[in-house]
C-alpha cells in the first residue's frame, strides 16, 4: 500500500461505528439481523465518512472511495463471488448437490456427518485457496444435509465455515497466504510449515468437538438416499484441478463448464436453462459483490482520514519484548480485520508495520507471516458482517449471529496462536537470506 504521511485520527473510525450500530445494533434491538439491509448500513457509513475531513474536497473523497472499492483484491473477490455463485447454481441444477448429500449420508456413519462435512470443507478450501468459494459450493450441501437429518442448520453451516477457514489460512494459493508471505519477505512453503504446526491441533480438536456435538443428533434419516456418481463429478473435478494448482478463477470456470455438460448430458436442463442458471448464480451473489466493493471503499476513506493509522499505533505502542511483539502483531491484524471485515486487506494493511515489529524484536519472518494469517483468519471466521458468514447465512436463510457459536475452528486457532506465542513454539533454526 502507499506509504502516505497520514496522521492518526480516532474520529475517522466514526463511520465504521455507524455501520456497526446500524447493522448489528438494529439486529440486536429488533431480534432480526435482516431488519437493516447491509447495503443501507454501509452506504450510510460511507456518507458519514464523505462528510468528514473538510480539508479534503468532495471529488478527492469520491476518488478515495473508488480506489478502495476498486482495489485488485476486492475486484478479484467479486469475480470469485460471481463465478462461485454460477458454479453452485449450475451444479445444483445438474443434481450435484442432492447426489453429493445422499452419497455422504450413505457412506458416512450418522454420527460423523458433520465431521465429514468439516473435513471436506478443509480439503476443498486448501485446494482452492478461497474460503468464500468453498462456502458457496458447500453451503447448499450443508443445508440439504440438515434438512434430511435432525442436525441444526446453524451447526452444519458452522462446520462449513470452520473447514473453509482452515484452507483459507493454510493454502499456498490463498490471497491471505500470498499477502502474508509478501509483506514479511518469506517463502510459501516456510510459512506453511510454521502455520501447520500451530493450527493442526486446533483442526483435530474441532473435528472431535463436532463429533461430540452430533452424537445422537443425526439419527433420523428419511428412507433411501439415492445418488448418481456422475452428478458428483463436478465437485470432484473442481477438487482435482485445484489440487493440481490451477488458478481459482480457472477452477471455477472449469467447474461451471463441467457441471453444465453433465447437466445437459443427463437431461437435467436445456441449453437455455443452463444460461439462466448461470445468470441466477450471478444474481444470487450480486449483493455480496456490492457489499465487498462498498466496504473496500469505506475502509479506504477511513484509512485516508487516519483511522487505520490510529488502530496501528494503539495496538503497537505497548510492545516492549519479542513475545510482546508477537502479541502486538496478532492484536494488530485482528483489530484491523475487525475494522475492515476482510482478512486479505487487513494483512496488507498491517503487514508493513508487522514487518517492522518483527525486525525490531528479532521475530522470524516465517513466524510473523504465520501469526498474521492465523489471527486474521480467526477474526474473519467469527465476525457476522464478514463475507464468509454473510455468504453462508444467505444460503441457509438464517442470521449470521446464529452461526457464530458453531464456528469452532476460527475460535480454536486464536487459542492455538495465543498458546504458541506464550510458549514460543515452534522454534526455528536461523536461515540465511
249, 80 in Cβ contact below 8 A?
yes
How far apart are the C-alpha atoms of 294 and 308, rounded to whole Å? Answer: 17
400, 393 in Cβ contact below 8 A?
yes
Q: What is the pLDDT of residues 15-74, one digit of tens each?
A: 988 887 887 777 777 766 567 777 888 899 999 999 988 888 999 999 999 998 898 877
How far apart are the C-alpha atoms of 122 and 420, rounded to whole Å? Answer: 22
The pLDDT score that the predictor gives to residue 265 is: 93
User: Is 381 inside a domain boundary?
Assistant: no
Mean per-residue pLDDT, 293-320: 83
User: 3-class SS at 398?
Assistant: coil
The CA-based dihedral angle spanning residues 107, 243, 146, 113, taken in that order and rounded to the nearest 10 degrees: 40
DSSP structure string for 281-305: HHHHTHHHHHHHHHHHHHHHHHHHT
- Name 54's Cβ contacts closer than 8 Å, sequence gap at least 6: none
How far apart are the C-alpha atoms of 341 and 298, rounded to whole Å? Answer: 11
How far apart are the C-alpha atoms of 392 and 416, rounded to whole Å? Answer: 25
What's the domain range around 276?
A: 73-218+226-286
For the chain, what percent of residues have pLDDT higher than 90?
A: 26
Residue found under cell 485482528: 334
The pLDDT score that the predictor gives to residue 31 is: 64
- Name the average pLDDT for the chain: 83
Count of all residues that appear for the chain in the document: 433
| Count of domains for the chain | 1
- Name 311's Cβ contacts closer than 8 Å, sequence gap at least 6: 13, 332, 335, 336, 339
How far apart are the C-alpha atoms of 165 and 131, rounded to whole Å? Answer: 6
CA–centroid distance for 214 within its chain: 24
User: Is 79 inside a domain boundary?
Assistant: yes
Kindly tell me if the per-residue pLDDT of 152 is higher than 90: no
Q: Helix 408-423 vs helix 322-340: angle between axes, to the nearest 10 degrees? A: 160
Q: What is the pLDDT of residues 349-404, one digit of tens each?
A: 778 778 878 887 888 888 999 999 999 999 999 998 788 898 888 888 888 889 99
Residue found under cell 508477537: 326
User: Is 135 inside a domain boundary?
Assistant: yes
CB atoms < 10 A from the CB of 66, how many?
14
Cβ burial, residue 256 (10 Å; 0-12/13-18/19+): buried
User: Is 183 inside a domain boundary?
Assistant: yes
User: Is 327 inside a domain boundary?
Assistant: no
How far apart are the C-alpha atoms of 218 and 213, rounded to whole Å? Answer: 10
The pLDDT score that the predictor gives to residue 220 is: 52
User: Is 393 inside a domain boundary?
Assistant: no
Q: What is the pLDDT of residues 235-263, one digit of tens each?
A: 788 767 765 667 778 888 998 999 999 99
Residue found under cell 508495520: 353
CA atoms within 13 A on the CB side of 397: 6
How far apart are the C-alpha atoms of 104 and 88, rounded to whole Å? Answer: 18
100, 91 in Cβ contact below 8 A?
no
User: Is 213 inside a domain boundary?
Assistant: yes
- Name 127's Cβ contacts closer than 8 Å, sequence gap at least 6: 167, 171, 239, 242, 243
Mean per-residue pLDDT, 128-136: 78
- Name 279's Cβ contacts closer than 8 Å, sequence gap at least 6: none
User: Is 185 inside a domain boundary?
Assistant: yes
Rounded to two decimals, what is the model's pTM? 0.70
Cβ burial, residue 271 (10 Å; 0-12/13-18/19+): exposed
Helix, strand, coil percent content, the chain, rounded in steps of 5: 75, 0, 25
117, 145 in Cβ contact below 8 A?
yes
Q: Read off the C-alpha cell for 73.
A: 483484491
Q: What is the pLDDT of residues 272-296, one digit of tens each?
A: 999 999 999 899 888 878 887 888 8
Amino acid at each position: 500500500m502507499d506509504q502516505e504521511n497520514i496522521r492518526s485520527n480516532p474520529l475517522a473510525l466514526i463511520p465504521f461505528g455507524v455501520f456497526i450500530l446500524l447493522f448489528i445494533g438494529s439486529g440486536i434491538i429488533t431480534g432480526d439481523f435482516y431488519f437493516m439491509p447491509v447495503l443501507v448500513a454501509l452506504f450510510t457509513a460511507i456518507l458519514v465518512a464523505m462528510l468528514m475531513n473538510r480539508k479534503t474536497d468532495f471529488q478527492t473523497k469520491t476518488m478515495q472511495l473508488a480506489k478502495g472499492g476498486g482495489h485488485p483484491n476486492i475486484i478479484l473477490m467479486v469475480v470469485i463471488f460471481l463465478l462461485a455463485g454460477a458454479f453452485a447454481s449450475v451444479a445444483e441444477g445438474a443434481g450435484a448437490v442432492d447426489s453429493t448429500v445422499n452419497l455422504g449420508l450413505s457412506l458416512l456413519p450418522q454420527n460423523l456427518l458433520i465431521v465429514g462435512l468439516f473435513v471436506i470443507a478443509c480439503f476443498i478450501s486448501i485446494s482452492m485457496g478461497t474460503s468464500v468459494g468453498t462456502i458457496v459450493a458447500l453451503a447448499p450441501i450443508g443445508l440439504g444435509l440438515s434438512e434430511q437429518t435432525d442436525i441444526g442448520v446453524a451447526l452444519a453451516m458452522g462446520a462449513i465455515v470452520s473447514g473453509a477457514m482452515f484452507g483459507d489460512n493454510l493454502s499456498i494459493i490463498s490471497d491471505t497466504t500470498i499477502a502474508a508471505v509478501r509483506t514479511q519477505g518469506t517463502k510459501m512453503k516456510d510459512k506453511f510449515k510454521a502455520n501447520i504446526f500451530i493450527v493442526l491441533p486446533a483442526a483435530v480438536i474441532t473435528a472431535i468437538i463436532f463429533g461430540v456435538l452430533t452424537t445422537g443428533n443425526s439419527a433420523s434419516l428419511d428412507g433411501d438416499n439415492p445418488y448418481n456418481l456422475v452428478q458428483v463429478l463436478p465437485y470432484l473435478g473442481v477438487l482435482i484441478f485445484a489440487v493440481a494448482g490451477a488458478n481459482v478463477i480457472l477452477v471455477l470456470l472449469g467447474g461451471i463448464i463441467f457441471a453444465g455438460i453433465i447437466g445437459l448430458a443427463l437431461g437435467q436442463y436445456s441449453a437455455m436453462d443452463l444460461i439462466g442458471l448461470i445468470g441466477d448464480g450471478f444474481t444470487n451473489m450480486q449483493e455480496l459483490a456490492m457489499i465487498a466493493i462498498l466496504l473496500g471503499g469505506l475502509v479506504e476513506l477511513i484509512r485516508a482520514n487516519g483511522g487505520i493509522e490510529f488502530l496501528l499505533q494503539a495496538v503497537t505502542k505497548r510492545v516492549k519484548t519479542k513475545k510482546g511483539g508477537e502479541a502486538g502483531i496478532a492484536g494488530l491484524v485482528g483489530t484491523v480485520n475487525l475494522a475492515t471485515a476482510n482478512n486479505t486487506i487487513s494483512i496488507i494493511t498491517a503487514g508493513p508495520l508487522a514487518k517492522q515489529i518483527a525486525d525490531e524484536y528479532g521475530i522470524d519472518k516465517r513466524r510473523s507471516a504465520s501469526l498474521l494469517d492465523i489471527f486474521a483468519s480467526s477474526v474473519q471466521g467469527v465476525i457476522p458482517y464478514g463475507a464468509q458468514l454473510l455468504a453462508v447465512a444467505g444460503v441457509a436463510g438464517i442470521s449470521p449471529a446464529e452461526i457464530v457459536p458453531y464456528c469452532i475452528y476460527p475460535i480454536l486457532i486464536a487459542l492455538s496462536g495465543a498458546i504458541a506465542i506464550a510458549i514460543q513454539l515452534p522454534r526455528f533454526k536461523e536461515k540465511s537470506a
